[in-house]
Amino acid sequence: MFKRRQLRLVATVAAVVAWTTMAVARVNGVILDRPSLVQAFTLDDHNGKPFTADSLKGHWSLVLAGFTNCPDVCPFTLANLEQVVAELGLRVRPDRLPVVIFLAVDPDRDRPNLKDYVVQFHPDFIGVTGAIDQIDRALKGIDAVALRAKPDARGNYQVTHSAAVAVIDPQGRLVAKISPPFEPAPTAQFLADLFHQRENARAPESGQ
């Protein structure tokens, strides 16, 4: 009986330690010294409507590169971004919430499933893809890479791509990058601080 009680105490302590560890804030965010304007590209969104560099303007955006045959890292990131945006909703005004954009780099395989793949995480997420040269221009704009490996005997091939999420400001400029693990609360706080800081920096220009 005593032994059992000891075990329960150990269990309680272990549970408390686990809980505390989970609560430790972790965010891998880097703010660029100089924002860089995303250069022109022309892609289509998952509804077939044109999506260009100008589509990034007027709101904050979180852009990640990936492909729909990616079962592990891409869904993990998208699911986390959904939670990040939900957390941000507690910290910033609705009009400052970022648009999440999934840049699909494997267009032949991505096109048929892009909408289903993206909206499973949130109905407002946008999947974009198009011609390889335009995808590459968009990748360059967000300082990301994607390499499509040669197909194997079964016609399967792997795609290697940047794991970071690009943060684009309402002027269409790359201003920051976030890398995994994208823990929702600290990542949301990082973004809220960034948005706040940029808004304050711009305040004199807008005549205040």
Partner 1 sequence: MMGAWLEVRRLAVIGNALVGAALVTVVLASAGESLQAENAWVPWAPPGLRVHAGYMTIVNRGATDQVIVGVESPDYERIELHRSVIKDSVSTMQAIDEVRVPANGRVEFAPTGLHLMLIGPLRPQAPDGRVKIVLRLSGGEEVDVSAVVRRRDDAGHSAHSH
Of 105-144, which residues contact partner 1 (CB under 8 A)? 112-113, 116-117, 120
Q: Does 174 bind partner 1 (CB under 8 A)?
A: no
Taking the complex as a whole, the smallest distance from the CB of residue 124 to partner 1 amounts, in Å, to 15
Of 25-64, which residues contact partner 1 (CB under 8 A)? none
Report the alpha-carbon distance of residue 205 to residue 106 in Å, rounded.
Answer: 41
For partner 1, which is the closer residue by CB, 46 or 55? Answer: 46
Asked if residue 74 lies in contact with residue 177, where contact means CB atoms within 8 angstroms, the answer is no
For partner 1, which is the closer residue by CB, 107 or 180? Answer: 180
Residues that bind partner 1 (CB under 8 A): 7-8, 10-12, 14-15, 18, 68-73, 75-76, 79, 82-83, 112-113, 116-117, 120, 145, 156, 158, 160-164, 177, 179-181
